[in-house]
Structure 1
Amino acid sequence: MFAIVLKIILVSALLLAVYYIFFEKEKVLKFNRFYLLFSLVFAYTIPFISLTIPNFEKSKPNLIIGNVVQQQAVFVSSVEQNNVNWMILIPIIYASVALFFLIKAIISVYKILNLKGQNLMYQHQKIKILEKEIAPFSFLNKIYFGKNYWIDNNIDQRIFLHEKLHVLQKHSLDILLLEILKIISWFNPVLHFYKKAMINNHEFLADENVVNNNYGIKSYQHLILDEIIYHQNYQLTHQFNFNNTKKRFIMMTKSKSKLANLKKFLILPLFAIFFVAFANKKPSEIVENNFSNSEKIFKEKIPLPQNLESKILTKSENDTIKPKVKKTEAAIKTEIKNEVAKASQSKSAEPILPPPPVDKIESHTEAEFPGGLTALRNKFSENFDPSKLENTKGIIKGTIVLIISDDGKRYNDSYDFDNESFKKAAKNSIEKSLEGVVWKPATLNGKPVASSFKMPMTMSFE
């Protein structure tokens, strides 16, 4: 997850830097709007796109992983519950900040929609004449004017044309999209600069619409300066007197440069480079061939052994849970029969007590990986990288033992491999597959317990 967050921030920052360097001062206003929107969408989707890279090696190793065996379950009492898991604070903090921004956005929309005034249709456009004197602004499909702008049932045409373009081109949707991204990814500081760049571009487009309707640039600039004295503090809106007059005045008189079109064409290879650099890459041969003929990594679950041992662990003991191999039900029955046979041959006059009932076992459930063991198999397959085993020949074997904690949020792992490179590849795959994963813990008599899984695997090379 951290890698995905880092990619989103890095890609969005790099694309915004390209905008500031090459396009901010260019009079390609419609292109700039598209670029900013596409950059955001691209930055937030590229980490989730899988890019399959062909692998041209002649032969590939075959990985076969046997059945997963659950070896034990150990009850951990409330003694360990005092151990604070600080990692749980991360989602709590994230959700709290996201909720704060969500509530703030809802309040902003509520304030705008509940402004008191008179709704009218003016030149085929919905407007609202407000009871108080504030600067004109637009939101979604409506333009809002203070009562001081409604003179003799008319509005200054330059102000009206400016705000109407915001409505026609649906600029509010751009800001709402940015607000949604800010809610779900408030940790991305680049979004603040995107919002500033977008609003600037929207104002440039609206100013251009006024100038193209044969209104003098000088008189229009004086109008903007006169309107600066009025203000409104409603978020998510476009206001006529947006306080960035210097850049707006420069853009009004600016003409399109000769290099503008060339810069546009250079964007395509730039996005292609970013796509290759930041997409989630995985070699095709590893996914398609290495596991095509192998056995399923995880088949049907093997039941827990019947002679489960329960004990209370201290805090320090729980941090270093070690798997213990328990006897199977068949082994228990065999031992009981042997004891009975030995007792019958003894000359002792002591009565022979009947063996305890074997069929009576304690109720239990096994730990579950989110989505099931098939989902864990798929993750392990995608993350396993045998590239460092190129010079290996013959057959190599190994076993992974996983101990899942009673809360399902922690695990211990141990590795018994006859090849060090094989061990490192398996360890790396397990760590990636279990990163941030919360298991549904095993239970014993309705109480959560720690459980151990054994994963044998074999790799053969031609």
Structure 2
Amino acid sequence: MLTFLLKSTACMAILMIFYKLVLEKESIHHFKRFFLLGALLASFIIPNLVFIEYIDAVEPTINSITPITDPISDTVIAQNVPKASIFDWQLLLWLIYGLGIIGFGLRFIANLFRIRLRIKKNPKFKENFVTKVLLNESLPPHTFLNYIFLNQKQHEENSIPQEVLLHEETHAKQRHSLDILLIELVQVIFWFNPLIYLFKSSIKLNHEFLADKAVIQKEYDHSHYQNTLLSYLSNEKYQSVGIANAINYSSIKKRFTVMKTNTSKKSFVFRSLLLLPLTALLLFGFSEKREVPLSKKTISEPTNYPRTNNLEPADAMSSRSIELAGIVVDSKTMLPLENVSIIGPEGVILSKTDNRGYYHVEFNILTSGEIFFQFSISKEGYNPILQKEHWGNLQGKIGSAMYFALQQKKSESEQLSTLVTNTQNLDYESILMNYSKVEADFKFHEKMEEAKRNNQHVFIQLNGGHYLVSDSWIKLESKNDLVTIDDKTILPAFKLNKAIKRSQIAGMTPLENGNKANFAIYTFENKKSYSQNQQQSATREEMKEYNALAQKYNEMNQNQMIIKKKEVVRLKTIYGKMSKKQQADAEPFPDFPPAPPVPNTPGAPKAPLPPQSPLEHVKEMVAKGATFMLNGKEISAKKAIQVIKDNDKINIDTRDSKDKKPTVKLSVDPIEIDN
């Protein structure tokens, strides 16, 4: 914010100096009018401009923060650390700024209200394109929009010179009040900037130049007009008229000087051309420039999660890794965010986004079994996102794209995240190709939240579609779809807003086989009915797990498949929970080869019983009162069961001791058996 204010003020200062030195005393008043307004707007636009330059990158840009580990001394060194100030200066400055806005805002509103009262309470009549308002107060003639305010007594006595009336009619005809309204609004926001007052003064003075020029062009003599102004104003007691244009003594000498000036066409062209190098200077000096590598992806250095103690053999620890990439944007503007930190569970920064919002991180999974991991997305000024993931017992290198929309603090926009699977490549170009659909989803979420704000509507129309809305939403085929409320009342969707409020809804569900209604809504009073009738579906985490497992088996050669029963059971379980839409959107269910036939020869020996699992064996030993040893140290029976659950590759040796009490030895290393 401070950088913007400094750049904006510098732009204003340069443009105002140019105006004062090159343009103000010239008679090109219409050009000066648009220059002043354009200079004011340009001073706010130029500091926000960003010019992107694409360059050929020789090497990938590495974004990483490596943890620095220094030995810690046992000696404590006393230091004089300055105490932090208890007083919050930043809060004080914001408080002063807020009070300034309130004060100047009230002043602006009061001026508008005062003019409105003058129009309403005083006699008025329309003449040509203006309305003349006759006042009892002794005020100089002044104009606001199409209203010209005149002293009633002077008007009835015809003592107001025609030049003065023409002067005021020019203000109305050329709509000078619009310029004043704009600068007044800018002054309310930037009341602390002294250059705003200088712009305001110059704009008002140029309005006088324009009105003076219109009077002189009516073949009035310069000297006669000047004497008329002086004699008329000398008999008037000047009072403030707020935001209206009025004749007054302000800069009267400068006005008289400019009246006699006649700028030639050559001079006008020359002064206009000087704006080109001036604009280039401002763009070069106060806009922002960014360099973006072309054809070379910006990647993050692969970073591992901190290693934890576990009982898994070392040769199994490097067989799996997760690769993530994506884009992080602002949830309100949808613009990419730079320097967003991707932080691991131990507080280690895994990666940071570049100026395109892109991140890329890879880390190893050091435990066996189901994959559980979490990380957070954090940036100063934004609410962090904690992302918890539960994937299946996947093997090898697993890649996915994850996109995030961060919510600014005190913003009403919603935090969002989404996962895109089946990504062939995780470089920036591939991530960007998928982002268009993700961005559309993010924007839809934002529009939906905005549509829900400040109302309790259950039926909402958005982007040409129709939706049932509670905490989540369901898309309808049309506004006439029938909806049942608590299995009692049936209404077309568009009539729901008069029958029920969103806060009353416990749940909603489609009715695939509904004979009378297409959808059902259940209130908190009938939550039990909702639980019994809601359509079954898989959770988001289960969908992620299913897609990863299904993709793994779909990519295998069917003649060389290595099938794990636990994973197949998990696939079937999740697939059975999915709704029809989820099944259509998910990875196809793998085409597993048929199981080998069971022999059915008469007299053939019966198939042996399946071997006892390690966990069942240990539980049997617990029942016999066995002693358990882990790597040579005695452990409790409860600890032994937990070790077996956590490690599916543990070595087990069970034998009886002399007193016939079993001893069970557990080890991650091979167990040597003495002969």
Q: What TM-score comes out, normalization by structure 1 length?
A: 0.60
Whether the aligned pair in 1 keeps the contact of 2:164 and 2:229 (CA below 8 Å) is no
Q: Deviation of residue 199 (structure 1)? A: 1.1
Matched, 1:227 2:235: no
Aligned residue for 1:255, secondary structure, equals coil
Separation in structure 2 between the aligned mates of residue 58 and residue 370 of structure 1, nearest angstrom: 24
Matched, 1:247 2:280: no
Matched, 1:97 2:134: no
Q: Specify the code of the residue in structure 1 equivalent to 2:242.
A: Q
Whether the aligned pair in 2 keeps the contact of 1:33 and 1:201 (CA below 8 Å) is yes
Matched, 1:282 2:282: no
Q: Deviation of residue 162 (structure 1)? A: 0.6
Matched, 1:272 2:277: no
Separation in structure 2 between the aligned mates of residue 64 and residue 441 of structure 1, nearest angstrom: 20
Q: Deviation of residue 128 (structure 1)? A: 0.5
Name the residue aligned to 1:40: 40
Deviations 1:2-57 (A, max 9, x none): 111100100001100001111111111111111111100000111111112343x4
Separation in structure 1 between the aligned mates of residue 246 and residue 332 of structure 2, nearest angstrom: 55
Q: Specify the code of the residue in structure 1 equivalent to 2:45.
A: T
Higher strand share: 2
Name the residue aligned to 2:599: none
Separation in structure 1 between the aligned mates of residue 152 and residue 242 of structure 2, nearest angstrom: 20
Aligned residue for 2:209, secondary structure, equals helix
Separation in structure 2 between the aligned mates of residue 374 and residue 152 of structure 1, nearest angstrom: 61
Name the residue aligned to 2:182: 177
Name the residue aligned to 1:216: 221
Q: Specify the code of the residue in structure 2 equivalent to 1:250.
A: T
Separation in structure 1 between the aligned mates of residue 302 and residue 125 of structure 2, nearest angstrom: 68
Q: Deviation of residue 64 (structure 1)? A: 5.6
Name the residue aligned to 1:17: 17
Whether the aligned pair in 2 keeps the contact of 1:227 and 1:241 (CA below 8 Å) is no
Whether the aligned pair in 1 keeps the contact of 2:145 and 2:178 (CA below 8 Å) is yes
Summarize the Cα distance change of 1:371–1:85 in structure 2 as closer, same or farther, 3 Å threshold: farther
Q: Specify the code of the residue in structure 1 equivalent to 2:18.
A: V
Q: Specify the code of the residue in structure 2 equivalent to 1:132.
A: E
Separation in structure 1 between the aligned mates of residue 151 and residue 86 of structure 2, nearest angstrom: 60
Give the structure, 1 or 2, with the largest relative contact order (CA under 8 Å, sep 6 or more): 1
Deviations 1:320-379 (A, max 9, x none): xxxxx9x99x98xx9xxxxxxxxxxxxxxxxxxxxxxxxxxxxxxxxxx99479989722
Deviations 1:160-215 (A, max 9, x none): 21111111111111111111111111222111111111111110110000010112
Q: Deviation of residue 221 (structure 1)? A: 0.9
Deviations 1:199-252 (A, max 9, x none): 111101100000101122222111110232322202211112342211111111
Matched, 1:190 2:190: no
Name the residue aligned to 1:138: 143
Separation in structure 2 between the aligned mates of residue 176 and residue 372 of structure 1, nearest angstrom: 33
Match of 2:271 among 259, 263, 269: 263
How well do the aligned residues superpose, as a CA RMSD in angstroms? 3.8
Separation in structure 1 between the aligned mates of residue 24 and residue 172 of structure 2, nearest angstrom: 23
Q: How does 1:357-368 map to 2 (within 5 A)?
A: none
Aligned residues: 315
Whether the aligned pair in 2 keeps the contact of 1:139 and 1:238 (CA below 8 Å) is yes
Q: Specify the code of the residue in structure 1 equivalent to 2:32.
A: N
Q: How does 1:357-436 map to 2 (within 5 A)?
A: 371=330, 378-380=337-339, 400=349, 434=380
User: Which is higher, the Rg of structure 1 or of structure 2?
Assistant: 2
Name the residue aligned to 2:115: 112
Unaligned runs of 5+ in 1: 67-81, 303-324, 335-368, 383-397, 403-432, 443-462
Aligned residue for 1:228, secondary structure, equals helix
Separation in structure 2 between the aligned mates of residue 265 and residue 377 of structure 1, nearest angstrom: 37
Name the residue aligned to 2:669: none
Whether the aligned pair in 2 keeps the contact of 1:133 and 1:148 (CA below 8 Å) is no
Deviations 1:290-327 (A, max 9, x none): 6x4637999xxx9xxxxxxxxxxxxxxxxxxxxxx9x9
Separation in structure 1 between the aligned mates of residue 161 and residue 64 of structure 2, nearest angstrom: 76
Whether the aligned pair in 2 keeps the contact of 1:23 and 1:32 (CA below 8 Å) is yes
Separation in structure 2 between the aligned mates of residue 112 and residue 235 of structure 1, nearest angstrom: 9
Q: Deviation of residue 152 (structure 1)? A: 5.5
Summarize the Cα distance change of 1:85–1:221 in structure 2 as closer, same or farther, 3 Å threshold: closer
Name the residue aligned to 1:447: none
Separation in structure 1 between the aligned mates of residue 301 and residue 95 of structure 2, nearest angstrom: 37
Summarize the Cα distance change of 1:128–1:372 in structure 2 as closer, same or farther, 3 Å threshold: closer
Q: Deviation of residue 105 (structure 1)? A: 0.9
Matched, 1:59 2:51: no
Q: What TM-score comes out, normalization by structure 2 length?
A: 0.42
Q: Deviation of residue 438 (structure 1)? A: 5.7
Name the residue aligned to 1:88: 91
Whether the aligned pair in 2 keeps the contact of 1:65 and 1:296 (CA below 8 Å) is yes
Aligned residue for 1:379, secondary structure, equals coil
Name the residue aligned to 2:244: 237
Separation in structure 2 between the aligned mates of residue 97 and residue 195 of structure 1, nearest angstrom: 18
Separation in structure 1 between the aligned mates of residue 206 and residue 277 of structure 2, nearest angstrom: 24
Separation in structure 2 between the aligned mates of residue 376 and residue 176 of structure 1, nearest angstrom: 32
Separation in structure 1 between the aligned mates of residue 384 and residue 57 of structure 2, nearest angstrom: 42
Q: Deviation of residue 110 (structure 1)? A: 1.1
Separation in structure 2 between the aligned mates of residue 267 and residue 377 of structure 1, nearest angstrom: 34
Name the residue aligned to 2:161: 156
Aligned residue for 1:282, secondary structure, equals strand
Which segment is superposed worse, 156-165 or 202-211?
156-165
Summarize the Cα distance change of 1:87–1:243 in structure 2 as closer, same or farther, 3 Å threshold: closer
Q: Deviation of residue 83 (structure 1)? A: 5.4
Separation in structure 2 between the aligned mates of residue 147 and residue 16 of structure 1, nearest angstrom: 40
Whether the aligned pair in 1 keeps the contact of 2:60 and 2:299 (CA below 8 Å) is no
Q: Specify the code of the residue in structure 1 equivalent to 2:252.
A: T
Q: Specify the code of the residue in structure 2 equivalent to 1:42.
A: A
Aligned residue for 1:22, secondary structure, equals helix
Unaligned runs of 5+ in 2: 66-84, 312-327, 342-346, 352-378, 387-675
Name the residue aligned to 2:299: 294
Aligned residue for 1:25, secondary structure, equals coil
Whether the aligned pair in 1 keeps the contact of 2:329 and 2:336 (CA below 8 Å) is no
Separation in structure 2 between the aligned mates of residue 8 and residue 121 of structure 1, nearest angstrom: 43
